[in-house]
A and B are shown apart, each in its own frame.
Chain A
Amino acid sequence: MSSPLQQFEQFEQRIHNALDNPQVRKNFRHAMSGLMGKRALSFPDADELSELRTQDRLIRANALLKLPQLLEKLEANLIANGIQVHWAENAEQANNIALDILQSHDAKTVVKGKSMVSEEVEMNHFLEQHDVTVTESDLGEFIIQLAGEAPSHIVMPAVHKNRKEIARLFHEKFPHIPYTEDVDQLTLSARQIMRERFEQADAGITGVNFMVAETGTLCLVENEGNGRMCSTVPPLHIAITGIEKVVEKLSDVPPLLSILARSATGQLITTYFNMISSPRKEGEKDGPKEVHLILLDNGRSHVRMDEELLETLRCIRCGACMNHCPVYVQVGGHAYGTVYPGPIGTVLEPQLLGLDKIGALTSACTMCGACAEVCPVRIPLPKLINRLRSEAVEGKHGVSGLRGQGSLRKNKESVIWNFWQWLYSSPAIYGLFLKLATRLRFLTPPWLGPWTRYRTAPKPAAKSLHDMVASEGFDNE
Chain B
Amino acid sequence: MMKIPDNIYFYGTCLVDLLYPKAGMAAMELIKAAGVNVIFPKQQSCCGQPAFNSGYRSEALKVARSQLACFPKNIPIVVPSGSCGGMIRHHWPELFAGEADEKQAQEVAARVFELTEFLVDILKIKLEDLGEPVKVAVHTSCSARREMGVADKIQSLLAQLDKVEILEQQNKAECCGFGGTFSVKQGDISGAMVTDKSNAIAATGADLLVGQDCGCLMNIGGALEKNGHPQGVMHIAEFLKERIGE
A and B touch in the complex (CB under 8 A): yes
What residues make up the interface of A, taking CB atoms closer than 8 Å to B? Answer: 15-16, 19, 25, 33, 326-327, 330-331, 363-370, 372-373, 383, 386, 389-394, 413-414, 417-418, 420-421, 424-427, 430, 434, 437-438, 449-461, 463-469, 472, 474-477
Assess A449 versus B184: contact at CB under 8 Å? Given A369-B142, A390-B55, A468-B21.
yes
Any A CB within 8 A of the CB of B193: yes
- Contact flag A420-B20 (CB < 8 Å), given A326-B174, A330-B192, A455-B222: no
8 Å CB interface, B132-155 against A: 142-143, 145-147
Measured between beta carbons, the chain A residues less than 8 angstroms from B12 are 465
The one of A372, A454, A457 in contact with B194, judged by C-beta atoms closer than 8 angstroms, is: A454
With A455-B194, A461-B20: A477-B56 Cβ-Cβ less than 8 Å: no
Could you say which of A368, A425, A455, A474 contacts B175, with CB atoms under 8 Å apart?
A368
A467 to B221, CA, bound (A): 25
Which DSSP category, helix, strand, loop or mixed, fits chain A's interface?
A: helix
Contact at B46–A367, with CB atoms within 8 Å?
Answer: no
Known interface pairs A414-B56, A425-B62, A476-B42; A15-B28 also in contact (CB < 8 Å): no
Hey, which chain B residues are within 8 Å of A386, CB to CB? 52-53, 55
Contact B146 A393, beta carbon cutoff 8 Å: no
Partner of A364, one of B25, B145, B189: B189
B63 touches A421 (CB 8 A): yes
Flag the segment in B33-41, B99-107, B156-164 that touches A.
B33-41
For the complex with contacts A330-B189, A425-B65, A474-B38, 12 further pairs of A-B residues with Cβ separation under 8 Å are A390-B57, A421-B51, A424-B46, A427-B45, A449-B184, A454-B223, A454-B226, A455-B223, A456-B226, A458-B19, A458-B222, A468-B21
In the bound complex, residues from chain A placing their C-beta under 8 Å from that of B1 are none
Do the beta carbons of A327 and B18 come within 8 Å of each other? no
* Residue in A25, A427, A469 whose CB lies within 8 Å of B40: A469
Alpha-carbon separation in the docked complex, A458 to B15 (Å): 11
Given contacts A369-B142, A420-B50, A451-B183, contact A457 B17 (CB under 8 A): no
Residues of chain A lying within 8 A (CB to CB) of residue B179: 365-368
Min CB distance B228 to A, Å, is: 11
* Contact assessment for A394 and B185 in the assembled complex, using a CB-CB cutoff below 8 Å: no
Closest to B170 in A: A33
Interface presence of B195 (CB below 8 A): yes
Q: In the assembly, what is the distance between CA of A476 and CA of B38, in Å? A: 9
Instruction: Look across to chain A and name the residue whose beta carbon is closest to the beta carbon of B225.
Output: A456
Minimum Cβ distance to chain B for residue A196 (Å)? 45
List 19 A-B residue pairs with CB atoms under 8 Å apart, sorted by A's residue number: A15-B188, A367-B179, A370-B175, A372-B146, A394-B57, A417-B56, A420-B63, A424-B46, A427-B66, A434-B18, A455-B226, A461-B22, A464-B18, A465-B12, A466-B42, A468-B25, A474-B40, A475-B38, A476-B39
Q: Are B18 and A430 in contact (CB under 8 A)?
A: no
- Chain A residues positioned under 8 Å from B57 (CB to CB): 390, 394
Q: A449-B187, A450-B190, A453-B191 are in contact. Are A392 and B55 (CB under 8 A)?
A: yes
Contact B24 A16 (CB under 8 A): no
Contact between B189 and A465, CB atoms less than 8 A apart = no
The one of B38, B63, B182, B222 in contact with A366, judged by C-beta atoms closer than 8 angstroms, is B182
Contact between B17 and A464, CB atoms less than 8 A apart: yes
Alpha-carbon gap, A113 to B59, bound state (A) = 49
Chain B residues contacting A465 (CB-CB under 8 Å) are 12, 16-17, 21, 24-25
B40 contacts A476, C-beta separation under 8 Å = yes
Considering only CB atoms, which chain B residue lies closest to A386 in the complex?
Answer: B53
Q: Is B127 an interface residue (CB 8 A)?
A: no
User: Considering the chains assembled together, what is the distance between the CA atoms of A73 and B222 in angstroms?
Assistant: 59
Chain B residues near A19 (CB-CB < 8 A): 188-189, 192
* Contact A424/B40 with A392-B55, A454-B226 known, Cβ cut-off 8 Å: no
Asked if B193 contacts A330 (CB within 8 A), the reply is yes
CB-CB < 8 A to B21: which residues of A? 461, 463-465, 467-468
A-side contacts of B182, CB under 8 Å: 363, 365-367
Give the docked Cα–Cα distance between A453 and B196 (Å): 15
Given A420-B50, A424-B45, A472-B25, check contact A437 B37 (CB 8 Å).
Answer: no
Q: Which of A327, A449, A457 contacts B189 (CB 8 A)?
A: A327
Bound CA–CA A250/B118 (angstroms): 48
Report if B122 contacts A (CB, 8 A): no
Which residues of the partner chain A approach B42 to less than 8 Å between Cβ atoms? 427, 466, 476-477
A204 CB to nearest chain B CB (Å): 40
A437 to B17 CA separation, bound complex (whole angstroms): 11
B130 within 8 A of A: no
Q: Beyond A418-B59, A450-B188, A475-B40, is A460–B18 a contact (Cβ under 8 Å)?
A: yes
Identity of the chain A residue whose Cβ is nearest the Cβ of B141 in the assembled complex = A368
Task: Give which listed residue, B55, B174, B193, contacts A394 with CB less than 8 A.
Answer: B55
- A418: which B residues are within 8 A, CB to CB? 59
Measured between beta carbons, the chain A residues less than 8 angstroms from B66 are 424-427
Given A366, A424, A476, which contacts B14 in the complex, CB threshold below 8 Å? A424
Contacts of A463 in B (CB 8 A): 21
Q: Are A438 and B18 in contact (CB under 8 A)?
A: yes
* Chain B residues positioned under 8 Å from A475 (CB to CB): 37-40
The docked-state distance in angstroms from the alpha carbon of A438 to that of B51 is: 23
Chain B hits for A394, CB < 8 A: 55-58
Top 6 nearest A-B pairs by Cβ distance?
A: A450-B187, A455-B222, A366-B179, A389-B55, A454-B191, A368-B142
Docked complex Cα distance between A64 and B108 (Å): 35
Complex: how many Å from CA A135 to CA B242? 67
Hey, which chain B residues are within 8 Å of A414, CB to CB? 56
For residue B195, which residues in chain A have a CB less than 8 angstroms away from its CB?
454
* Given A450-B188, A453-B191, A456-B222, A434:B54 Cβ within 8 A: no
